[in-house]
Amino acid sequence: AQSVSQHNHHVILSEAASLELGCNYSYGGTVNLFWYVQYPGQHLQLLLKYFSGDPLVKGIKGFEAEFIKSKFSFNLRKPSVQWSDTAEYFCAVNKKLTGANNLFFGTGTRLTVIP
């Protein structure tokens, strides 16, 4: 079965520190990859997505992610975090060309940024 792993459960950083959140998936076929963010008390919002092409994708608010096919990974990065980045971050994977539009989510990583 397809699964998505986020190994960091809770990450605590000081402002201006660099961030990298890990995401690995288990599906061997062609996939679409996503990072969603959920700010406290809010709904999920798309940060960035990868479908094809350049494996380094840039998203909103200075976030980027790199798809490494050989490692089945799609890690999220930001060079310098801000207090406002405190949120829950979810990696998600969806199989391409499937009739069932099912997005599989990881268990999330809580990021706390200390001012």
Partner 1 sequence: DTAVSQTPKYLVTQMGNDKSIKCEQNLGHDTMYWYKQDSKKFLKIMFSYNNKELIINETVPNRFSPKSPDKAHLNLHINSLELGDSAVYFCASSLGTSGYTGELFFGEGSRLTVL
Q: Is 75 in the site for partner 1 (CB under 8 A)?
A: no
Q: Which of 11, 22, 49, 73 binds partner 1 (CB under 8 A)?
A: 49
| Cα–Cα nearest to 48, from 20, 11, 86, 89 | 89
Annotate 3-33 with three-state secondary structure. Answer: CEECCCCEEEEECCCCEEECCEECCCCCEEE
Q: Shortest approach of partner 1 to residue 56 CB, angstroms?
A: 19
Q: Is 59 in the site for partner 1 (CB under 8 A)?
A: no
Interatomic CA distance for residues 58 and 87, integer angstroms: 19
Interatomic CA distance for residues 32 and 25, integer angstroms: 11
Number of residues that bind partner 1 (CB under 8 A): 25
Question: Helix, strand or coil for residue 73?
Answer: strand
Q: Which of residues 17-46 bind partner 1 (CB under 8 A)?
A: 32, 34, 36, 38, 42-46
Q: Is 99 in the site for partner 1 (CB under 8 A)?
A: yes
Residues engaged in binding partner 1 (CB under 8 A):
32, 34, 36, 38, 42-46, 49, 51, 88, 90, 94, 96, 99-105, 107-108, 110
